[in-house]
Structure 1
Amino acid sequence: MDFMQLLDMILHVDKMLGTLIDQYGTLIYFVLFAIIFCETAFVVFPFLPGDSLLFIAGAMCARGLMDPVLLIVLLIIASIAGNSLNYWIGSLIGHKVLEHDYRWIDKNALNKTHAFYEKHGGKTVVLARFIPLVRTFAPFVAGVSEMTFKTFQIYNVVGALLWVLSVVLSGYFFGNIPLLRDHLNTIILLGVAAAVVPVVLGAAWRLLKGMTGKTR
């Protein structure tokens, strides 16, 4: 297998998972662990499959091709460890990255994540798990923003548990339904919006009440 074939396999592992399981057997657990770890640990890998990979892996478990308990445990560990490393990288070099333009980092996605973090605080670490691109940059921004490691880890662990369990189990129970499989990202974004919008509206209402009270 040459480099281009390897790269194509990694980028489309969610679509090729059934074939890869047949070819590599139990080694597929290591492959999935490495992909989820890299997607959450390094800001240069936001393009790696995340939600779709977890969802399809859950569907493979439903077919008896993978062990769901082993898969979930490994992916939770990978996502927690990846975010932790990303946090430390952000705390060490994050300010330099924010101040300079680097070709290998999507500065637009980084700025959007930073703005999202400033608005929602620690909840960003949890909510970002369900948002492509933002998921990769959120722990980095938390490190840049000097959130304490203890506080970060609380949100990190909660986010990893919610993300892996909800997406893998959704794949397990619904992954073999074509409509859901083909529109996974849209469904996840709608779910995140349903969770975030009430929070934003509530904050806006409290702010409006506070401003009204001051003007009286």
Structure 2
Amino acid sequence: MEEFNWLQLLNPEFYILLELGGVKIGLFVVLFIVFAETGLLAGFFLPGDSLLFLAGIYSEGLMNQFSTHNDFLNVTIFALLVSLMGILGNMTSYWFGAKSGGYLYSRQDSFFYKKKYLYQSKEFFEKYGSKAIVFARFLPVVRTFAPVIAGIVEMDKKKFMLYNILGSLLWSFSMIFSGHYLHAFFLNEFGVDLKHYIEYIVIIIVLFTTVPVLWKILKKQAHIEE
């Protein structure tokens, strides 16, 4: 039995290939993580975009127990399941924001909660308005707190649900389909199996999704110091 390493928790592939008693539970773990990112306010340390991209690469194995024997249909069903969990997570977060009011602003920082992320998400929401619910899906950390902010400011429920559904569908389908079909393309055209380059893929996706956010924060900090 392979020895467990805590660093594995930072590797999206660990969750996808997870087994319990010899039974593959990767599909259920992925769905839970998607929900937890927003529904449990745990998005700042859980893998998001990289998880879905890799899940797209491994979608055949993830859907093996529920296969329809049609590749496109399998990937579509998987993306819809992920979308559903994203929608439910946002709804939970919105409800919490609406009920908690200013509680989060007075809550002390902990490993699972950082108040600065709440303020950053609030600024993002104020800048983009209702569309922030869609845009936030593609931004780590911000997607965790954007629905909370929507609940706190009492955003219209129907409008929230519209953007919630739209954002979740766009996020899940774009990430999962990209992973699945890019893997197939590289394998068929160049004989390159992207599964052998998982570490590099994760690094690229993390940089692609986080650098713009970090750049904006650093730029704002520099402006304040001036």
Corresponding residue of 1:183: 204
- 1:17 touches 1:57 (CA, 8 Å); kept in 2? no
Corresponding residue of 2:23: 24
Shift of 1:162: 0.5
Deviations 1:48-76 (A, max 9, x none): 11111101000112xx3233233212111
Corresponding residue of 2:79: 72
Deviations 1:120-164 (A, max 9, x none): 101110000010000100100110111011110011000000000
Corresponding residue of 2:138: 130
Corresponding residue of 2:164: 156
Moved over 4 A (4+): 5-9
- 1:55 touches 1:171 (CA, 8 Å); kept in 2? yes
- 1:36 touches 1:50 (CA, 8 Å); kept in 2? yes
CA distance in structure 1 between the partners assigned to 2:175 and 2:140 by the alignment: 13
Secondary structure in structure 1 of the residue aligned to 2:58: helix
1:167 aligns with 2:175: yes
The 5 Å alignment of 1:19-98 reads 19-20=17-18, 23-25=22-24, 27-61=25-59, 64-67=60-63, 68-98=75-105
Corresponding residue of 1:198: none
Secondary structure in structure 2 of the residue aligned to 1:48: coil
CA distance in structure 2 between the partners assigned to 1:48 and 1:143 by the alignment: 22
Q: Which amino acid aligns with 1:185?
A: V
Identical columns (%): 33
Ranges in structure 1 where 5+ consecutive residues have no aligned partner: 194-216
C-alpha distance 101-181 of structure 1, shift in aligned 2 (>3 A): closer
- 2:130 touches 2:163 (CA, 8 Å); kept in 1? yes
Q: Which amino acid aligns with 2:55?
A: A
C-alpha distance 70-7 of structure 1, shift in aligned 2 (>3 A): farther
State the TM-score, normalized to the length of structure 2.
0.72
**Relative to total residues, which structure has the larger helix share, 1 or 2?**
1
CA distance in structure 1 between the partners assigned to 2:134 and 2:17 by the alignment: 32
Shift of 1:97: 1.6
CA distance in structure 2 between the partners assigned to 1:20 and 1:125 by the alignment: 31
Ranges in structure 2 where 5+ consecutive residues have no aligned partner: 64-74, 184-192, 214-226
C-alpha distance 139-7 of structure 1, shift in aligned 2 (>3 A): farther
- 2:43 touches 2:143 (CA, 8 Å); kept in 1? no
CA distance in structure 1 between the partners assigned to 2:43 and 2:202 by the alignment: 23
C-alpha distance 150-172 of structure 1, shift in aligned 2 (>3 A): same
C-alpha distance 6-159 of structure 1, shift in aligned 2 (>3 A): farther
- 2:97 touches 2:152 (CA, 8 Å); kept in 1? yes
Q: Which amino acid aligns with 1:155?
A: Y
CA distance in structure 1 between the partners assigned to 2:98 and 2:118 by the alignment: 15
